[in-house]
Amino acid sequence: MRLNGGMTQQALAVVVLAAGQGTRMRSETAKVLHELSGIPLLGHVLATASALQPEHLAVVLRHHRDAVAGVVTDYVPDAILVDQDDIPGTGRALELALAALPSTFAGDVVVMSGDVPLLDSDTIQAVVDHHRSEGSALTLMSTIPEDPTGYGRVIRNDRGDVTGVVEESDANAAEKQITEINSGVYVMNRAHAHAAVAGLTTTNSQGEKYLTDIAKALSSAGQGVSGVLVEDSWLLEGINDRVQLSEAQARLTRMTIRGWQLLGVTVADPASTMIDLSVELAPDVTLLPGVQLKGDTRIDSHATIGPDSTLVDTIVESHATVVRTHSLGAHICEHASVGPFSYLRPGTVVGVEGKVGAFVEVKNSTLARGAKVPHLSYIGDADIGAGTNIGAGAITANYDGETKHRTTIGSQVRTGSHTVFVAPVELGDGSYTAAGAVVRRRVEPGALAMSVAPQRNLEGWVEHNREGSPAAIAAKKAGKSKK
């Protein structure tokens, strides 16, 4: 393959370091598996690495090995998995990764950290291009943060060439005054890198093979080591604890929302809005305050979501409205309305111009066009026909203690308040139910289903059974006033 100008494209490999324990996260979950905008930290890094179109991508694993490996294979099925041994340090991790690359590979290697999620492929590609144009053996990416504490310092000579990197724990007082830090992102020729890591030792304050030591090793051997200073320090910020995780999430959210706003989405209050990277939004969508859109959610044009709604893996078609609702795996069709205070569970379909109203839970059910469940109801495992209205307080009794059963309600049905449908049961088109009906068998089209029992009033029951209570006193007083 050739570049413009006739230059031959050099081979590229990427090594992602993901073996660290991440103790500062104080979590049973591997650090690189904590999420930003619905994607694991490592998923962000692997997506960036894949965008570089490397010939080979290797990931070094150790702590939480199987869980991390599962994420790697989900994102990059053909990645090379490298297990770090008991010799600690990032230098050892690279040494093992280089050995795992095919012996025929002789190109450049990009080294990335699995906990630096916001670094983009364009920035890395610019560093790769600089590395190749300079003919360096090693190029590192550096930056000048507001506070360099805790980071390795980049050492340069009078000409500005990089002569080494010193970890803060090994730095002297003068070196700690340096503000330029190493980011942990490198580009290096494989042959030079292989020779350099072979000479690494653990004679330092941490007893580890430092990857940073290869800069000094190559410089001392007369090999060119260059550094590219990245102005935007946030691109290179690693995630070591939950404070840094939340700060990265806030930044990514701001960027994500700004991107959607520029594409025609109205976001009334960006500070209270969360949008996963996997979400799809059309122009003229309106998001009101307190909205969270997660997973494979898709919102079509002119839909309004919020306030105070969470949608996960949910489709909302055009001109629909969703107010103060929690939805998981539902499909809300055109011009439908949901909420406030509705709960849509997986398998729910609210048809065109359908309505799911206040304090209604719907699960694995389909509402046809114009069907309405306006208030205070549970609808589970049901099919509701077009134009049907379900009265307040309805319940589909879908579970017999062992098996779920389905309720089928026809079109243009009207059910009275507090109707209970004991599934499996079917109501024909145009049928009615009376208030308080318990429907246990099929209702024919146009029929009225009733559960009729004579009302009994037990005179004096309150005074006899609740003697001395406020109710009994009120009843006694009312009885005297009648006499």
CATH assignment at residue 409: 2.160.10.10
pLDDT of residue 41: 97
Are residues 39 and 166 both part of a single domain? yes
Please write the tens of the pLDDT for every residue from 87-111.
999 999 999 999 999 999 999 999 9
Number of domains in the chain: 2
Told to judge if 192 belongs to the known catalytic residues of this protein, a careful annotator would answer no
pLDDT at 4 over 70: no
Please state, for a pLDDT cut of 70, what percent of the chain lies above it: 97
Decide: pTM greater than 0.85.
yes
Are residues 212 and 276 both part of a single domain? no
pLDDT at 12 over 90: yes
pLDDT at 426 over 90: yes
15 located within any domain: yes
260 located within any domain: no
pLDDT of residue 10: 81
Domain housing 147: 4-236
Q: What is the mean predicted confidence (pLDDT) over 344-361?
A: 98
pLDDT at 3 over 60: no
- Determine contact, residues 1/209, Cβ cutoff 8 Å: no
Are residues 170 and 294 both part of a single domain? no
161 located within any domain: yes
Are residues 315 and 410 both part of a single domain? yes
- Determine contact, residues 145/151, Cβ cutoff 8 Å: yes
* Boundary (domain end) residue, out of 217, 236, 255: 236
The token pair that represents 51 in the structure block: 């965008």
Are residues 200 and 325 both part of a single domain? no
CATH classification of the domain holding 87: 3.90.550.10
464 located within any domain: no
140 located within any domain: yes
Are residues 414 and 275 both part of a single domain? yes
Are residues 33 and 158 both part of a single domain? yes
Q: Would you place residue 9 in the very low, low, confident or very high pLDDT band (cuts 50, 70, 90)?
A: low
Are residues 316 and 383 both part of a single domain? yes
Are residues 344 and 415 both part of a single domain? yes
Name the β-bridge partners of 338: 322, 356
Are residues 38 and 166 both part of a single domain? yes
Are residues 55 and 204 both part of a single domain? yes
462 located within any domain: no
Are residues 191 and 307 both part of a single domain? no
Separation between Cα atoms, residue 11 and residue 104, nearest integer Å: 11
Mean of all residue pLDDT scores within the chain: 93
Catalytic entry in 63, 194, 375, 405: 375
pLDDT at 81 over 90: yes
Q: Would you place residue 8 in the very low, low, confident or very high pLDDT band (cuts 50, 70, 90)?
A: very low
Q: Which residue in this structure is represented by tokens 């069709």?
A: 333
| Residue 208 vs residue 394, higher pLDDT | 394
pLDDT at 276 over 70: yes
- Determine contact, residues 37/275, Cβ cutoff 8 Å: yes
